[in-house]
Amino acid sequence: GAGVSQSPSNKVTEKGKDVELRCDPISGHTALYWYRQRLGQGLEFLIYFQGNSAPDKSGLPSDRFSAERTGESVSTLTIQRTQQEDSAVYLCASSQGLAGGHGWEQYFGPGTRLTVT
């Protein structure tokens, strides 16, 4: 079946502009995650959605970052007034969201490479 998809794959934007990144999770996956990966670094958790529960936004670095998800489908990550330090690969993952280890296996999309000039 189809995996997690993200668009665009690459985005170059000028400092100060807003950007919107999209994630299509695997159908039926109730959990969705956004991560940021700076060059040569590990994954930095941004936000987590589980079904219709309130999202865990504890990883969002500033109020310029926001994310939405409608039900258990597409999610968008919006970065307002982009700064050069926002340049990174933004990864989306989804999981079945069931209790127990294997249900929490995260399936990743290919990422969106954001470059802020």
Partner 1 sequence: GEDVEQSLFLSVREGDSSVINCTYTDSSSTYLYWYKQEPGAGLQLLTYIFSNMDMKQDQRLTVLLNKKDKHLSLRIADTQTGDSAIYFCAESHSNYQLIWGAGTKLIIKP
Name the DSSP letter for residue 56.
B
CB contact at 8 A, 75 and 32: yes
| Closer residue to partner 1 (CB): 82 or 91 | 91
Q: Is 23 in the site for partner 1 (CB under 8 A)?
A: no
Identify the CA nearest to 91 among candidates 80, 103, 75: 75
Smallest separation (angstroms) from partner 1 to the CB of 8 = 15
Show the site string, 76-105: x = touches partner 1 by CB under 8 A, - = not: ---------------x-x-x-x-x-xx-xx
Q: Is 1 in the site for partner 1 (CB under 8 A)?
A: no
Instruction: Decide the pairing of beta strands 75-79 and 65-69.
Output: antiparallel
Among 42, 52, 70, 84, binds partner 1 (CB under 8 A): 42
Q: Which runs of E-coded beta strand occur in the chain?
A: 5-7, 10-13, 19-24, 31-37, 43-50, 65-69, 75-79, 88-95, 107-108, 112-116
Residues lying near partner 1 in the complex (CB under 8 A) = 3-4, 31, 33, 40-43, 45, 48, 50, 56, 91, 93, 95, 97, 99, 101-102, 104-111
